Chain A
């Protein structure tokens, strides 16, 4: 008896009558009295997502060694797929005939896709950008491909993610000069082309991406232009490229202060647990990063105190679980650090990778959950201080940029009390003291 049934597109959550022209509702539940942090419920067609949220990255339609059941059980309600890879293979036609990526990979909750722009620039040997789009060489088969705003949206419509990203003209954060302005302005024009090209506006929403490099004037121009469009939310791009952290946080704050408060803010490609905590304080709602899944493959476990490199000699006979406070299946299942190290080193065995990936993703999701709870309880500042004490037993080790950033939103890590918020400029001038 054939039990297999082809997967139609999964039942879309019926949206309550929405005034907006897009399938996203963002309801803020609680705001921090001190910082710019807030917690909200974001309704999407396939899931209701609590923010601030961390979105794990399932690049090619699978979250490394985890099944969708396992990921769902960890509490994940939104994850990423990469348009670049999925667009090359299997391609939008195969995906849309399989019920979108949702049906293809059997993921019932929400999906977000990037535009394909970032990988395009970073992975192709040769890429040529003009007003029409980007021409590049596919590393899959060496052929020349053209990615335009329309083509990116066509592929993303085929993938069917709840949230799509505009195709933007990507420049590395270290780029300076007129190229940055050109890219920022072109991204605005490409946004409008993307919005026009969206063939499924009631099922998939589109986020614009704020650009402008590390130049606050350009950023402001981008912010003003984007905020005037009727869109569901906003992404902050062009960061997490290795720029100085002292500039990084100032740009993030500049953006969150100017973006509409009632819509979600997504900081792309960020990041480490420390970055998440600081940026939530600055007013960011959504994050994505390959950190938990990538470090798992290298045998690195995330813990509140930092990281454990399990393949190192010190863990060879360490029979403790990774973290006895953790409630993930790896830690509650009693798998010891030493046994995990054994599994990770054993060729042809994937259980070690599965368990470690589950633990790391659980760690990130739990971190966000704790932040949300602290916001509901009105204890966010205490949470932030507690987080830092765990990561840095010695306060003199607190990263300077994080101390400054938090001070600018009223949290003093060192004195233990909240302080008056101060303004600051991207170039460092302003009220914030620099130690």
Chain B
């Protein structure tokens, strides 16, 4: 169901091609380094249709909606997903905090709106069959706290391997593996212990995992924009050298990296897939990602009264998205200041287009064998500010109160 080929490389960065057969009529291919499409409950946060590609479908969104999912019997039909949308069934939405302690030998606790919900192997197998994803991330012990040592790291590897084995067995028993089943994206855990990371990698390779998902680096409750690749890079170095030699190549997915410079650096280290959550993260804070840094900043806070006079120019002159082609920056600022939902929709269109352009730039740089260092320097200042630093677009509760007479 999945074919991953590497076509070129520049240093350790590699250009790849990930093909998923979504049935005979809908083969889907994406170029790597690339990104998975962020969505919540089958919908892009603000756009009427998610962009085409592989939709990141975290189970923590669905654990409090099991009755509905079972009633519908088919997640794609329920969410009206077009046939050319492929799914990666993952564990937790990386923009949600990790409020869950609670990994035991039997289950993993995932955060839902109604609190922590347990995910067992059996439940995940059932949900995999209900969802028919092309890619699935078997449950794993991804939890890490600051200060956890080798002992905790070892336990997370042991537990995750056990979950992996039991999951694949359960899936086989329920008839979900083999030619028509999903590819397995195994969680690569091991905390901050280089030895455990290496051990986990070897064990997963020997089990023939189709791909790897890096987990267990972001600390419990650490906000996603606080996490930087530098926090964990050294732990992975040795393991990555080993991984690069393995054949056939398997796609490496590093979720939870939102800063563009970190994505570039991770691509340099050989990672292929990233979560495309940056547009949602920026949009929910009313920030637009510009084509070129203006006044030293890559981000523009659109809900700014000063921008109301910008009637003669779009949000971003270098961008061709609908928001920038049809509307002035003044109108976008006005919508944002007025707490209008349309502000989020237009901003999301722009930020999604911007992310796509960024990845094109990244792939072009690898293809032309440029050193990615130059690109990293360019985006070094593109640091997503912490939540408290930016006034967000009014949340839904505030909008409901904002009634017209």
Contacts and interface: CB of A to CB of B under 8 A. Distances in A.
Interface stretch (A12-20, A43-51, A339-347): A339-347
A291 B359 CA distance: 43
Q: Which of A6, A336, A351 has the most CB of B within 10 A?
A: A351
A137 to B, nearest CB: 15
A333 B79 CA distance: 10
Contacts of B47: 351
Contacts of A59: 404
Contact of A90 (B325, B327, B330): B330
A317 B77 CA distance: 14
A60 B80 contact: no
A367 interface: no
B396 interface: yes
A318 to B, nearest CB: 9
B71 A338 contact: yes
Interface stretch (B131-139, B204-212, B331-339): B331-339
Contact of B327 (A82, A106, A118, A350): A106
Given A64-B342, A350-B45, A6 B68 contact: no
B317 interface: yes
Size class of the contact patch on chain B: 35 or more
B178 interface: no
B387 interface: no
A247 interface: no
B297 to A, nearest CB: 21
A2 B334 CA distance: 23
A343 B43 contact: yes
A146 interface: no
Contacts of A343: 41, 43
Contacts, number: 141
Contact of A123 (B48, B311, B405): B405
Interface residues of chain A: helix, strand, loop or mixed (majority):
loop
A317 B71 CA distance: 7
Interface in A22-47: none
B46 A350 contact: yes
A3 B324 CA distance: 8
B119 to A, nearest CB: 19
Nearest to A297: B400
Interface string A345-387: 1111111111000000000000000000000000000000000
B345 A94 contact: no
Contacts of B345: 65, 67, 350, 354
B64 to A, nearest CB: 10
A7 B314 CA distance: 11
Nearest to B284: A348
A333 B80 contact: yes
Nearest to B331: A104
B173 interface: no
Given A89-B338, A94-B309, A343-B43, A298 B71 contact: no
A345 B40 CA distance: 11
A317 B67 contact: yes
B312 interface: yes
B57 interface: no
A92 to B, nearest CB: 12
B330 A94 contact: yes
Nearest to B397: A347
B369 interface: no
Interface in B91-105: none
B352 to A, nearest CB: 14
A6 B310 CA distance: 11
Contacts of A351: 43-44, 46-48
Given A4-B324, A62-B340, A339 B334 contact: no
Given A104-B328, A333-B80, A346 B400 contact: no
Nearest to A96: B311
B330 A348 contact: no
A89 B334 CA distance: 7
A176 interface: no
Contact of B41 (A97, A106, A342): A342
Contacts of B280: 348
B371 interface: no
Interface string A276-317: 000000000000001000100110000000000000000011
A122 B403 CA distance: 12
Given A89-B337, A118-B405, A98 B67 contact: no
Interface string A55-70: 0010111101111000
Given A297-B399, A348-B396, A98 B328 contact: yes
B59 to A, nearest CB: 15
A402 to B, nearest CB: 26
A390 interface: no
Contacts of B325: 3-4
B65 interface: yes
A290 B67 contact: no
B52 interface: no
Given A60-B338, A336-B78, A4 B313 contact: yes
B2 interface: no
A426 interface: no
B72 interface: yes
A75 interface: no
Contacts of A353: 341
A395 interface: no
A85 interface: yes
A98 B328 CA distance: 8
Interface in B26-82: 40-48, 61, 65, 67-68, 71-72, 77-80
Contacts of A338: 68, 71-72, 78
B326 interface: yes
Contacts of A106: 326-327
B395 interface: yes
Contacts of B391: none
Contacts of A3: 320, 324-325
A61 B343 CA distance: 11
Interface of B: 40-48, 61, 65, 67-68, 71-72, 77-80, 113, 280, 284, 308-309, 311-314, 317-318, 320, 324-328, 330-331, 334-335, 337-338, 340-342, 344-345, 395-396, 399-400, 403-405
25 contacts: A3-B324, A3-B325, A4-B313, A4-B325, A7-B328, A60-B334, A62-B340, A64-B342, A67-B345, A85-B404, A89-B308, A94-B309, A98-B331, A297-B399, A317-B68, A333-B80, A334-B80, A346-B61, A349-B46, A350-B344, A350-B345, A351-B43, A351-B46, A352-B43, A354-B48
Of all A-B residue pairs in the complex, the 9 with the closest CB atoms, nearest first, are A4-B314, A65-B341, A122-B405, A317-B71, A62-B342, A60-B338, A351-B43, A98-B311, A62-B340
Given A90-B330, A319-B78, A343-B41, 15 more contacts: A3-B320, A6-B328, A64-B340, A67-B342, A91-B308, A94-B308, A97-B311, A104-B331, A105-B331, A294-B403, A294-B404, A317-B71, A338-B68, A346-B61, A349-B43
